[in-house]
Amino acid sequence: MLLLLCFALFVALPVSAHAQTTFDVASVRPTTEHVEFERSGQTSVLHGMLRMHDVSLSDCIAFAYGISTSQIVGPASLKDQRYDIIAKGNPDATESQIRQMLQPLLAERFHLTSHGEQKELRGYVLTVVSSSPKNRSKFHPSAADGEVYRQNSASGTVARNITMKQFADFLSGPLEGPVADETNLIGQYDLQLDFAGYVDLTPTDPSERPSAAYILNAALKGELGLQITPRKANFGIIVVDHIEYPTPN
């Protein structure tokens, strides 16, 4: 509960254009090529360079403020329009600093203004299943610290050098709700998650298909020894009051 309260206080802060740090240069353009199997596009941070490909404005806000897109309220265009963003900062900037630099960039290029509220949301908790041992070939600590890599396929996902907090953030997308990491697993991990071996993905009638939560839980338990549990709680949300769409530059 303390984690949720701290989290709520953080995300309740309004979007501001007055952050202390900004990018040296930045480009914002409409996406010309979509990323297959990725609903939130691709985002990478390396040596002070932020690269976001095929992302929505909702994805950008979520990354900038460390929240899930389910905690953002605004017009449908927040998710409908897609962008490519390349922004360069100090080569020594951390990912946390890059996220902070993105906040004033969104305010400048999209004239984004917003305010924070508290709202009860259906969220999830990611934990370790004590009775289900991990498959060490598919889930193990990374050999060395490095840049996060994650790639979806038609039936699963693979990741390297990912923290459990980052993995929980990824799961919030298909679950359409915030996911809190309570695994107590420290450091970076390599993992391989294959849904096909646990559920029937062949039904063509959407009403016959299992839910995303069911599919994920089956694969998480069987492959990684993890599980997600539903939990309703008050979360901080960002309500978008105003946006304007930029011209390419």
Domain boundaries, the chain: 2-118+235-242, 121-233
* Residue 16: pLDDT band with limits 50, 70, 90: very low
Beta strand spans in 70-204 (E)? 72-73, 82-88, 113-128, 139-141, 149-152, 156-162, 179-181, 189-194
Pairing of strands 72-73, 139-141: unpaired
Between helix 57-65 and helix 95-110 the angle, nearest 10°, is 140
Is pLDDT of 3 > 50?
no
Q: What is the pLDDT of residues 206-249, one digit of tens each?
A: 666 778 888 889 889 988 999 999 998 888 899 999 999 876 66
Instruction: Give the span between the Cα atoms of 109 and 118, in whole angstroms.
Output: 27
Q: In this predicted model, which residue has the larger pLDDT, 132 or 96?
A: 96
The residues, ordered by sequence, that sit 6+ positions from 99 with a Cβ below 8 Å of its Cβ are 63, 64, 65, 66
Residues 28-81 have pLDDT tens digits of 999 988 888 788 888 989 889 999 999 999 999 999 998 889 899 999 889 989
| pLDDT value at residue 20 | 39
pLDDT, mean of residues 163-191:
91
- What confidence tens digit (pLDDT) does each residue in 74-87 have? 998 899 899 999 99
Q: Taking residues 151-163, report their average pLDDT.
A: 87
**φ and ψ of 214, to 5 deg:** -65, -45
**Better-scored residue on pLDDT, 155 or 133:** 155
Per-residue pLDDT band at 9 (split at 50, 70, 90):
very low
The pLDDT of residue 199 is above 90: no
